[in-house]
């Protein structure tokens, strides 16, 4: 049974979800620091500083419908980081920021009114992204939907976001190759992902995820350790493993009544005729290759007027 | 004189020893042979030649050494699909005027091709002596390729049946139509009466609706199991695509001209399924008795 949320997510609850698993928002996100005061005073602090897979800083602001100071807070944080990003990157060495000037501000909310979204859009801050978390229950288990409400940088197409502009061309090529090759295997295979990762899924679940982190493309097949993809050969190897896994699943779904060996073991023809070989037996086979009424019916579920003889 | 005789004897002994050593080395050399797969269809027009040429290209693209043998002895057309104008065909081989190396053509798309006897009616009258020559030719091809694909004529004739039984595995191409299904079943029924029938894998071609291949196969497999006790293996479906039906003579195989289309992807998926069923499609060491040449000769001898 699927049910909607019983209790709304509070700001603290939302932030806990981020702390528990930042990758829920985006593959490769890592928490660096919590509760930072960027001179916003009474308006409230920045809930967290994170680092994305490319080493860029990500500032997170958690909000709820009662948060009337959100717009002001975003404006102040944006201006503060623009002014001081060099100093801040030196002050927080553990963040290992590669390009502190290329930052993003994520606004996390359980639900945002359309009016709030429009107001945020009017800010025209290219680095601003709005992410909504929504809880639901399947049976007794609670699940979470993470929805990208709006991204000023690049629009979402279904669940597939374009790759981040900071990813180098070689890594971008490898990520694209993985996705393209896997999607060729089976038209039922689906592709989703955020700006740093590509997740390939089928009806069997997740087949493979490839992601970019700190200049290297990695891939992980479910239950297997993560491996690095350095060149096209690595990509082919990965696709081969995924294809075999997918086919194994397809075969397990399809009924396989018995193996060929079991049939081969039969000493006498199952139709009860003595087996002959060579041209003589082959010619004899042609003479007896007529379909009985029962066989015809079983194949076609029709009642022919005449018994057809198979073509030769 | 004695020393001279001793010398001669020792030289002779060494020569004999060397010969014995050479024989020992020769007999220890593993017999390496590629996989021989026959592609058949009960009914004509199921897309068998389309499938085999594109499967060959797919295998070549994934690094396999592939040879296609057009065993449609009377009306071969694989050379047209692979863009080859052969000077010599199987007809020359079986007439004894050319070796298999001489009739083997390298196509521009990668796979090697042995063309069939297009339009030669006498090719349908092949007897055991011709198959002895074919056995040797198939053996030579299997030694120099990872995969040898035998494109058998549609329907059931002793010649095409003999070719099917020579293979390690049979791929049966059928369509969801009732006519194609009944003829495919008739072929399976004939095969089931022979000793040592290769494994039969089924591919459903020209599927107009995604997923229709599975129920089509299930119906065929269920009837084959119920009436002749034969298990079949499903290796996938190939969607119907206008890029296939609207092809003109001289066009490149679909995997080259439309590599991204759903039919091309279907062929690739089937290729993977074949590998999954048969194991690696690579030339590997085996007993010579299990090779394609010995298989054909055994079939003829049993006659």
pLDDT of residue B288: 65
Q: Which residue has the higher pLDDT, B190 or A305?
A: B190
B84: nearest Cα among B60, B67, B64: B67
**Which of chain A's residues have a Cβ under 8 Å away from the Cβ of B239?**
187
Mutation pick from B186, B198, B225, B298 vs chain A, by most beta carbons of A within 10 Å, is: B186
If 0-12 CB within 10 Å is exposed, 13-18 middle and 19+ buried, where does residue A165 land?
Answer: exposed
pLDDT of residue A63: 86
- Least confident piece of the model among A193-202, B222-231, B241-250: B241-250
In the predicted structure, residue B172 carries a pLDDT above the cut 60: yes
pLDDT tens figures, B204-216: 999 988 888 999 9
Looking at the complex, report in whole angstroms how far the Cα of residue A138 sits from the nearest Cα belonging to chain B: 29
Contact between chains at B196 and A275 (C-beta distance less than 8 A): no
State the residue for tokens 């039984």: B165
ipTM of the complex: 0.70
The pLDDT of A273-283, averaged and rounded, is: 52
Mean pLDDT across chain B, nearest whole number? 81
Strands (DSSP E) contained in chain B are: 31-33, 35-40, 66-71, 104-106, 112-114, 147-152, 169-174, 199-207, 233-239, 284-286
In the predicted structure, residue A249 carries a pLDDT above the cut 80: no
Portion of chain B with pLDDT greater than 90, in percent: 25
Contact between chains at B223 and A298 (C-beta distance less than 8 A): yes
Within 10 angstroms of residue A176's Cβ, the number of other Cβ atoms is 14
- Least confident piece of the model among A26-30, A159-163, B12-16: B12-16
B262: nearest Cα among B218, B209, B201: B209
pLDDT of residue A273: 36
Contact between chains at A300 and B228 (C-beta distance less than 8 A): no
pLDDT band at A276 (very low <50, low <70, confident <90, very high): very low
The pLDDT of B90-113, averaged and rounded, is: 85
Which of B158, B196, B229 has the CB atom closest to A282's CB atom? B158
pLDDT of residue B132: 83
B162 inside 8 A of chain A by CB: yes
pLDDT of residue B202: 95
**Which of chain B's residues have a Cβ under 8 Å away from the Cβ of A264?**
196-197
Which of A256, A275, A312 has the CB atom closest to B156's CB atom? A312
Residues 220-259 of B with CB under 8 A from A: 220-223, 225-231, 233-234, 239
Portion of chain A with pLDDT greater than 70, in percent: 74
A114: nearest Cα among A156, A149, A74: A149
**Which of chain B's residues have a Cβ under 8 Å away from the Cβ of A235?**
none
CA torsion A88-A90-A93-A97 (nearest 10°) is 70
B199 inside 8 A of chain A by CB: yes
CA–CA distance, B108 with B102 (Å, rounded to integer)? 17
Which domains are delineated in chain B? 36-302 (3.40.50.300)
Q: Which residue has the higher pLDDT, A235 or A121?
A: A235
DSSP state letters, A153-208: SS--BTTBPPPPTTS-HHHHHHHHHHHHHHHHH-TT-EEEB-TTEEEEEETTEEEE
pLDDT of residue B53: 92
pLDDT tens figures, A105-160: 888 888 777 777 777 777 778 788 888 887 777 766 777 777 776 544 433 334 67
Contact between chains at B299 and A262 (C-beta distance less than 8 A): no
């Amino acid at each position: 049974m699927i049910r909607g949320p019983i209790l709304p997510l509070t700001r603290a609850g939302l932030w806990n979800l981020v702390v528990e698993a930042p990758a829920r928002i985006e593959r490769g996100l890592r928490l660096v620091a919590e509760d930072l005061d960027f001179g916003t005073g009474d308006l409230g602090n920045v809930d967290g500083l994170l680092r994305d897979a490319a080493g860029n800083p990500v500032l997170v602001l958690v909000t709820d419908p009662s948060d009337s100071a959100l717009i002001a807070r975003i404006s102040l944080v944006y201006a503060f980081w623009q002014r001081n990003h060099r100093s801040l990157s030196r002050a927080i060495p553990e963040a290992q920021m590669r390009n502190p000037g290329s930052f993003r501000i994520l606004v996390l909310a359980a639900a945002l009114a359309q009016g709030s979204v429009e107001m945020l859009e009017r800010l025209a801050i290219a680095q601003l992204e709005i992410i909504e978390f929504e809880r639901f229950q399947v049976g007794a288990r609670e699940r979470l939907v993470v929805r990208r409400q709006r991204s000023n940088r690049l629009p979402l197409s279904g669940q597939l976001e374009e790759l981040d502009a900071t990813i180098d061309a070689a890594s971008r090529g490898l990520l694209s190759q993985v996705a393209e090759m896997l999607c060729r295997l089976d038209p039922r295979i689906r592709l989703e992902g955020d700006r740093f990762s590509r997740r390939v899924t089928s009806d069997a679940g997740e087949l493979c995820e490839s992601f970019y982190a700190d200049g290297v493309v990695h891939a992980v097949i479910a239950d297997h350790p993560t491996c690095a993809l350095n060149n096209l050969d690595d990509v082919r190897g990965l696709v081969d493993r995924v294809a075999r896994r997918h086919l194994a699943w397809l075969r397990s779904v399809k009924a396989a009544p018995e193996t060929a060996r079991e049939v081969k073991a039969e000493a006498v023809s199952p139709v009860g005729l003595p087996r002959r070989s060579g041209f003589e037996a082959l010619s004899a086979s042609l003479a007896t290759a007529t379909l009985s009424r029962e066989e015809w019916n079983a194949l076609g579920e029709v009642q022919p007027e005449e018994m057809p003889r198979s073509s030769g | 004189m004695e020393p001279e005789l001793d010398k001669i004897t020792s030289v002779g002994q060494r020569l004999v020893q060397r010969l014995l050593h050479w024989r020992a080395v020769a007999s220890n050399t593993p017999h390496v042979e590629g996989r021989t797969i026959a592609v058949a269809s009960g009914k004509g027009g199921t897309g068998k030649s389309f499938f085999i040429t594109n499967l060959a290209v797919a295998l070549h693209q994934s690094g396999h050494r592939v040879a296609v043998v057009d065993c449609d002895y009377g009306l071969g057309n694989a050379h047209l699909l692979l863009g080859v104008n052969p000077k010599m065909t199987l007809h020359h081989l079986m007439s004894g005027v050319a070796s298999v190396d001489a009739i083997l053509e390298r196509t521009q798309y990668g796979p090697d091709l042995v063309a069939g006897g297009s339009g030669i009616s006498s090719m349908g009258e092949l007897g055991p002596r011709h198959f002895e020559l074919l056995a040797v030719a198939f053996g030579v091809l299997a030694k120099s390729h990872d995969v040898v694909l035998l494109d058998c004529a549609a329907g059931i004739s002793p010649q095409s049946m003999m070719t099917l039984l020579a293979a390690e595995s049979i791929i049966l191409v059928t369509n969801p139509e009732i006519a194609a299904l009944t003829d495919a079943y008739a072929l399976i029924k004939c095969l089931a009466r022979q000793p040592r029938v290769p494994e039969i894998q089924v591919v459903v071609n020209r599927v107009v609706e995604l997923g229709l291949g599975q129920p089509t196969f299930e119906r065929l497999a269920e009837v084959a199991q119920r009436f002749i006790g034969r298990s079949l293996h499903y290796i996938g479906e190939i969607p119907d695509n206008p890029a296939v039906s609207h092809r003109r003579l001289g066009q490149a195989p679909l995997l080259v001209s439309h590599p991204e289309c759903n039919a091309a992807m279907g062929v690739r998926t089937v290729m993977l399924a074949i590998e999954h069923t048969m194991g690696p499609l690579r030339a590997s060491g085996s007993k010579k008795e299990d090779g394609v040449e010995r298989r054909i000769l055994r079939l003829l001898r049993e006659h």
